Structure 1
Amino acid sequence: MNPLLRLWHHATDHRRRIVFAVITSILNKLMDLAPPLLIGAAVDVVVRQDDSFLADAGIATVRGQVVTLAVLSAIVWILESIFEYLYAVAWRTLAQRVQHDLRVEAFAHVMSLDQSVFADASTGSLMAILNDDINQLERFLDRGANEILQVAVTVLVIGGGFFVVAPDMAWWAVAPIPFILVGSMRFQRLLEPRYARVRERVGDLNATLAGALGGVATIKAFTAEPREIARVEAESQAYVDANDEAIRPSSAFIPLIRMAILFSFTAILVLGGFRAIDGTLEVGVYSVMVFVTQRLLWPLTELGEVFDQYQRAMASTRRVLDLLYSAPEIVDGPLRLDGPVRGDVALHDVRFAYPDGGVVLDGVDLTVPAGEMHAVVGSTGAGKSTIARLLLRLYDVTGGAVTVDGIDVRELHVTDLREQFGLVSQDVFLFHGTVADNIAYGAPGASHEEIVRAAKLAEADEFVAALPQQYQTVVGERGQKLSGGQRQRIAIARAILSDPPVLLLDEATSAVDNETEAAIQRSLAHVSQGRTTIVIAHRLSTIVAADRIHVLDRGRVVESGTHDELVSTGGRYAKLWAVQTGQPAVDLTT
């Protein structure tokens, strides 16, 4: 379906505004086309006087006819100005409302999409849709839509009027229009894929810029600035080249239209002049035809720019609507939770494979009774973090089932499920805001006292108190003003404040020093009491006190037991423990 029709079907809340804007644009153009007719009537009065058209209409005196024309001109100009004001406000307001609603709706939809979308699509390409593409549509609605309407009204009204007053001459006036319209449609088809490539290049450029800005510390550490500048230059040049491919044909459009207009205007000027000299065409009608021919055809020169703007907007609209109508695979189940769960968590013969990868989990059975602390350990790539993603239902299992209190998570409303978990991950994400804002992110209505209590339990209060504005200190984008350990403790405070039945720690201490690890361990000992705690760990020293430890290897649970039991059996866990405690080297492949 044409993107414009798709937008019409989608924008149900804005249809009244659209209709009003269209009507005011049409009325403005009708008033704009009236002055040439009044000029022709004035010429008719001066030349024919008592035999003029207005005299036949019942206005006897020549002076009365002139005054009548003056009054009509004033009315037309006033109405034209009123309708111009109305359509300008209507289209601009519509453009702002549509872009606002589309951006919010698209962002809300992006938030509902599966985690796999964010793994496959770059942040830059999504930003290009949410920002650049929607702005492109806004610019078209702000100006281009009105211009297309007014050109169409001009062609219909003046072309129709020509056939009424001088049908034999009208053909010369409208002859170029079919060629211009056919040429416009051909240009439209020619430009459409070119502007689609322009939008793609914008996404690539934004992705490169976002990646470079996000990794600026790494870039500087490896003195890779010249390489990154070269990458940005290459992507920017690709964007320029894509625009060049669209600019050249679109720029040729207006000169070709001018040639068609020259043909038609010359024909009316010469042939109409001959008829006026012969007396077979009224002078007033001739003057109107000469003047109006330009009014009829000259606006068509703007079709090049308008179609250029239209194609850019439609390419953008298609991308926005394609995003909006992309359906998430992870949808809400039919069951709602009335309150917190007990915290019984289990994986039953769970199998999982990422869409573009091999098998990650292959028949995992794991049970965590409510209130206990269980740990999941294993070497890199064993599938530990995948278990966390399945518990939060960021992905769905490809086989088996994940249950909470005996209920398959696919049966639960997604929001209800995720509210049962408090996540502290290795890669802590802090938002650009204050320390208090970030701690209260999971409980936005929390009081300052509650925020401070959570920070104390997470052993974060001491360093927060030393910050310049304490809890009102802005942490910077992604928490760049804080150390890794400080970010981790704020993340723990955030999880504590949300008070979830199940605490999920995904490598929460893998990137901190020993002192910070000890502080985090103390805080976890407090917060894990009375709630189910699942620790996904690389450092085995952090999970020695766990009620049960599950060892993953190649997607399967190969061992389960307490720390002492697993060390005494001499299996996979014992070998990992030996490596981390500095004992003689062991072969982990056996």
Structure 2
Amino acid sequence: MTPPPTRLRRILRLFRPYRARLASVAALVGLSSLVGLASPFLLRAVLDDALPHGRTGLLTALAAGMVAVAALTSVFGVLQTYISTAVGQDVMHDLRSAVYARLQSMPLAFFTSTRTGEVQSRIANDIGGMQSTVTSTATSLVSNVTTVLASVIAMIALDWRLTAVSLAMLPLFVWISRRVGDERRKITGQRQRQLASMSAIVEESLSVSGILLGRTMGRSPALVDDFTRESRGLVDLEIRASMAGRWRQSTIQIVLAAMPAVIYWVAGLTAAGGSPLVSIGTLVAFTTLQAGLLRPMVQMLGTGVEVQSSLALFDRIFEYLDLRPDIAEPAHPTPLPAPRGDLRFDGVGFAYGVDGRRVLDGVDLAVPAGSSLAVVGATGSGKTTLGYLVARLYDASAGRVTVDGVDVRELSFADLAAAVGVVSQETYLFHASVADNLRFAKPDATDAELEAAARAARIHDHIAGLPDGYDTLVGERGYRFSGGEKQRLAVARAILRDPPILVLDEATSALDTRTEREVQDAIDALSHGRTTVTIAHRLSTIRDADQIVVLDHGRVVERGAHEELVRLGGRYAELVARDATALSVAR
């Protein structure tokens, strides 16, 4: 956790871009406080001079002054509220954007080990929970501090002895507020973790896949029980957060409310023993100032508690902002303006984590531009990892992967994305129109380009037959489309992207034979003239590959063309025989 002084400096740095506007808020607060201080003195003049001596002209001027003071402070208050709220919302926008940008830069490994609901909760619940702190706390603090200081100075000017009596309890109030703030900060951290857990349950169980799984497994009642339990835990934490230190704060309010009575009592005792300590006008003006002092003091104490509570939220946000991506864009990338698609693996090794299991070991492969490579092997042999290294979803632990002789780690992310396209087994579609999903690959694509890509992917006729054609919403994660249709949409998207290197990660393994042929036709059209790396599950799809390699525990154990490897009678021949047996059984 960040040390408190460092944390506070970091929070203050969030407001640095808005110094000018904050300075204007401070100026408005100062003017409002100074103008507001005139009222008690005007009141004293009314009670001590205008009324006793019947000076109606003076009384009219003093009354008009009181009205003017109220009007000016109201105008200043509206302006400072608007500016401070705008600054606070800008700071929240900056935080949301910074967290989202940092998460976009994180490697795939981060998301495979983090629940999606947790990520969403950081952006929505944590940043949303600090809204009042960043939008109003700074202004409230400046306003109340200014008001308190100005009021104390005015009270001293009226009578320093009554001022000393009024401020005697202040250290106790500060101590109590700090204790309450510490307690609430701990509870706030627990509450945000509970919210994150609830968000994860909602995201996972109320998605289309979650609903299907819950219904078909008969687990819907159990999921309801899990959510109810988490929600009940949140209720308890909310009550604890609301009641934390409430009795101690009530004590503060009682004492503050009793202070005017103490002032009357002190002034009355003095008057009973001889000449009065102060005039009636001064006493009324002093208690008016004191009453005005109590409100900002209570608000300051409450602000302190709120700031301490929000520190737990800032800690969670800073935790994400402090994440350092394992895969970073090079400071001085090597340009690759017109990639040919020549791909090489030079002594490539990979392991998950520092001490993780080695997935690839000493892989040497050359894939000339325009040729095709198929990678086969048992589950866990490292096939998918090899493909992901090309797109730099992971970085090689040893050796290097090059495109046209340039290490992919030396390329900018934009150049690498332009050079390498990936079509995976699980096609992800946004809850948007077909056209919008296709244009995700090329935002400036024309309607004609969309149609040409869809025709090449053998999906145009199906799209054209939809009620709204290319404007049809695909539904969450594309659930209005079959697996084969989604795969062909993914192929169309890759065609629009037009990369010279294509990685096909078991793109047809989950499809039936007929649909597989349709998708394979689309993939063949996409692969023409490109360097293609196919991660194969069904060997029938890769018989015509220029080069086939067999991986076993991360090592290349066989390589060659289909006929050559079958004649060799090794691992590939075993896989072909197994594939043929499975196909005959399925028939």
1:272 aligns with 2:267: yes
Cross-structure match for 2:342 = 344
**Correspondence list, 1:153-232, <5 A:** 153-214=146-207, 215-232=210-227
1:234 aligns with 2:234: no
Whole-Å separation in 2 of the counterparts to 1:248 and 1:6: 29
Aligned partner letter, 2:218: T
- SS of the residue corresponding to residue 256 of structure 2 reads helix
Q: Which of the residues 124, 130, 138 maps onto 1:137?
A: 130
Larger deviation: 164-173 or 136-145?
136-145
Cross-structure match for 2:448 = 449
Cross-structure match for 1:10 = 14
Aligned partner letter, 1:401: R
Shift of 1:195: 1.2
- SS of the residue corresponding to residue 442 of structure 1 reads coil
- SS of the residue corresponding to residue 280 of structure 1 reads coil
- SS of the residue corresponding to residue 285 of structure 2 reads helix
Shift of 1:584: 12
Shift of 1:7: 2.5
Cross-structure match for 2:109 = 116
What is the TM-score of this pair, normalised by structure 2? 0.93
Shift of 1:303: 4.8
Cross-structure match for 1:104 = 97
**CA, structure 1 residues 95+10, in 2 after alignment: closer, same or farther (shift >3 Å)?**
closer
**CA, structure 1 residues 152+12, in 2 after alignment: closer, same or farther (shift >3 Å)?**
closer
Shift of 1:307: 4.0
Structure 2 gap segments, 5+ residues each? none
Whole-Å separation in 1 of the counterparts to 2:206 and 2:380: 29
Shift of 1:46: 4.5
Cross-structure match for 1:562 = 561
Shift of 1:207: 1.3
Larger deviation: 122-131 or 145-154?
145-154
Cross-structure match for 1:388 = 387
**CA, structure 1 residues 584+420, in 2 after alignment: closer, same or farther (shift >3 Å)?**
closer
Deviation per CA, 1:70-101: give whole Å up to 9, x if none: 23213212211210110121122222222223
Deviation per CA, 1:169-210: give whole Å up to 9, x if none: 211101122211122122222322221222222212111211
Aligned partner letter, 2:360: L
Whole-Å separation in 1 of the counterparts to 2:312 and 2:31: 30
Shift of 1:485: 0.9
Shift of 1:494: 0.3
Cross-structure match for 1:501 = 500
Shift of 1:33: 4.0
1:245 aligns with 2:270: no
> May I ask how many residue pairs the two structures share in their alignment?
574
**CA, structure 1 residues 17+137, in 2 after alignment: closer, same or farther (shift >3 Å)?**
farther
Whole-Å separation in 2 of the counterparts to 1:92 and 1:423: 44
Q: Which of the residues 305, 315, 320 maps onto 2:317?
A: 320
Shift of 1:321: 3.0
Cross-structure match for 1:520 = 519
Aligned partner letter, 2:88: A
Contact in 1 for aligned 2:181/2:309 (Cα 8 Å): no
Shift of 1:64: 3.1
**CA, structure 1 residues 330+432, in 2 after alignment: closer, same or farther (shift >3 Å)?**
same
**CA, structure 1 residues 458+238, in 2 after alignment: closer, same or farther (shift >3 Å)?**
same
Shift of 1:387: 1.2
Contact in 1 for aligned 2:84/2:139 (Cα 8 Å): yes
Contact in 1 for aligned 2:187/2:237 (Cα 8 Å): yes
Structure 1 gap segments, 5+ residues each? 50-60, 586-590
Contact in 2 for aligned 1:343/1:405 (Cα 8 Å): yes
**CA, structure 1 residues 279+494, in 2 after alignment: closer, same or farther (shift >3 Å)?**
same
Deviation per CA, 1:137-183: give whole Å up to 9, x if none: 22223334333333322322222222232112211101122211122
Deviation per CA, 1:351-405: give whole Å up to 9, x if none: 1111274111122222211110111111111111111221111221111111111
Larger deviation: 37-46 or 407-416?
37-46
Whole-Å separation in 1 of the counterparts to 2:409 and 2:175: 54
**Correspondence list, 1:419-430, <5 A:** 419-430=418-429
Shift of 1:463: 1.4
Whole-Å separation in 2 of the counterparts to 1:536 and 1:426: 10
Whole-Å separation in 2 of the counterparts to 1:97 and 1:572: 61
Whole-Å separation in 2 of the counterparts to 1:557 and 1:250: 66
**CA, structure 1 residues 418+583, in 2 after alignment: closer, same or farther (shift >3 Å)?**
closer
**CA, structure 1 residues 522+29, in 2 after alignment: closer, same or farther (shift >3 Å)?**
same
Whole-Å separation in 2 of the counterparts to 1:298 and 1:411: 61
CA-based RMSD of the aligned residues comes to 2.2
Shift of 1:553: 1.0
Whole-Å separation in 1 of the counterparts to 2:201 and 2:406: 43
Cross-structure match for 1:27 = 31
Shift of 1:444: 1.0
Whole-Å separation in 1 of the counterparts to 2:62 and 2:180: 43
Contact in 1 for aligned 2:441/2:496 (Cα 8 Å): yes
**CA, structure 1 residues 21+71, in 2 after alignment: closer, same or farther (shift >3 Å)?**
same
Q: Which of the residues 46, 50, 59 maps onto 1:66?
A: 59
Whole-Å separation in 1 of the counterparts to 2:443 and 2:556: 38
Deviation per CA, 1:497-536: give whole Å up to 9, x if none: 1110001111100111111111122222222121101101
- SS of the residue corresponding to residue 327 of structure 1 reads coil
Aligned partner letter, 1:84: G
**CA, structure 1 residues 195+412, in 2 after alignment: closer, same or farther (shift >3 Å)?**
same
**Correspondence list, 1:280-429, <5 A:** 280-303=277-300, 305-333=302-330, 334-355=332-353, 357-429=356-428
Aligned partner letter, 1:204: S
Aligned partner letter, 1:348: D
Aligned partner letter, 2:352: Y
Contact in 2 for aligned 1:261/1:298 (Cα 8 Å): no
Cross-structure match for 1:536 = 535
Whole-Å separation in 1 of the counterparts to 2:190 and 2:582: 58
Whole-Å separation in 1 of the counterparts to 2:221 and 2:568: 54
**CA, structure 1 residues 233+579, in 2 after alignment: closer, same or farther (shift >3 Å)?**
same
Contact in 2 for aligned 1:460/1:490 (Cα 8 Å): yes
Shift of 1:68: 2.5
Shift of 1:240: 2.6
- Identity across matched positions, percent: 35
Q: Which of the residues 82, 85, 88 maps onto 2:78?
A: 85
Contact in 2 for aligned 1:176/1:264 (Cα 8 Å): no
Aligned partner letter, 2:42: L
Contact in 2 for aligned 1:454/1:494 (Cα 8 Å): yes
Aligned partner letter, 1:13: P
Shift of 1:493: 0.4
**CA, structure 1 residues 292+224, in 2 after alignment: closer, same or farther (shift >3 Å)?**
same
Contact in 1 for aligned 2:148/2:296 (Cα 8 Å): no
Whole-Å separation in 2 of the counterparts to 1:64 and 1:112: 72
Larger deviation: 310-319 or 300-309?
300-309
Larger deviation: 470-479 or 300-309?
300-309
Q: Which of the residues 80, 88, 94 maps onto 2:87?
A: 94
- SS of the residue corresponding to residue 375 of structure 1 reads strand
